[in-house]
Amino acid sequence: MHVRVYDDRASLAQAAAEQAARAIRRSIGERGKARIIGASAASQIEFLEALIAMPGLDWSRVELFHLDEYIGLPSTHPASFCKFLEDRLIARTGIATTHLLRGEGQPAETIAGANAAIREAPIDIAFVGIGENGHLAFNDPPADFETEEPFIIVELDEACRGQQIAEGWFPNLESVPKQAISMSVRQVMKAEEILAVVPGPRKAEAIRKCLEGPISPMAPSSILRRHARATVYLDKDSAALLHAETLRSLKEPATGAGQEGRDR
């Protein structure tokens, strides 16, 4: 795993978008298309804006998969992750081939279709976030590190549901769905490359556990340390709780854009 720390969200988003664009161009050049996984969260907005602005991307050759979605939530709801991707990525790029997880459908049918599609070929790059409780996709702690099923039904814990209220997606805890369809941890880890965009002070504790604690289902994102081509993008706020020795292990800790961290 690689870790990169930037001064602010804007420089983080720009650097992450540059890496993402290189990966997409490379996949299209080598195989004629790129299969990607998109994350849907407030933490991803600046990154997606920067990615859309990248030159030389033939979005008509991009196939998009979806990390997660609430069960029972209409795709028209402001908190729908389908709506997030449709508004912030699909409609603005012209991606033609998508595999969105419709929350208002029958979960078993949605999962069966998504499983069949994702098994057709490897994923070139996965864009992910890390939750305040350390979740990866919607795999809250204790996450299932063993299932080989690409998509699964998960129970959302109170910390995860509380994050959605704090970010303004729902008015209260009762209105946040308790279940979701999520890409499994092992399926995320099967991507050829993983790019985690994790800005902001609310993610600092999760990042500390991800990078400094044991690799454990209780800190689901810690599994990224086992992926040779995972890159975690942080800003000063999300890196704020890392110990001095962790920061020293980076080439240029929290010194600004363009500085890549050493493998961890």
Is the predicted pLDDT of residue 257 greater than 50, yes or no? no
pLDDT in tens, 150-172: 999 999 999 898 888 888 888 89
- Rounded Cα–Cα distance for residues 261 and 254 (Å): 10
pLDDT in tens, 128-138: 999 999 999 99
Whether 156 contacts 124, CB under 8 Å: no
Is the predicted pLDDT of residue 248 greater than 80, yes or no? no
Q: What is the mean pLDDT of residues 33-44?
A: 94
C-alpha separations of 72 from 77, 173, 176, 178 in Å: 10, 15, 10, 10
Task: Give the model's pLDDT for residue 111.
Answer: 97
CA-wise closest residue to 47 among 1, 7, 88, 79: 88
Task: Give the model's pLDDT for residue 95.
Answer: 94
Q: What's the first-to-final CA gap in the chain, in angstroms?
A: 5
Q: What is the mean pLDDT of residues 191-216?
A: 97
Determine which of 40-49, 171-180, 210-219, 243-252 has the lowest per-residue pLDDT on average: 243-252
How many structural domains does the chain have?
1
Whether 235 contacts 222, CB under 8 Å: no
> Could you tell me the pLDDT band of residue 17, with boundaries at 50, 70 and 90?
very high
- Rounded Cα–Cα distance for residues 194 and 154 (Å): 22
Host domain of residue 24: 2-263
Task: Give the model's pLDDT for residue 262.
Answer: 37
Is the predicted pLDDT of residue 139 greater than 90, yes or no? yes
CATH number at residue 223: 3.40.50.1360
Average pLDDT for the chain: 92
For 135, the 3-state DSSP assignment is: coil
Is the predicted pLDDT of residue 260 greater than 50, yes or no? no
Q: What is the mean pLDDT of residues 45-74?
A: 96
Is the predicted pLDDT of residue 49 greater than 50, yes or no? yes
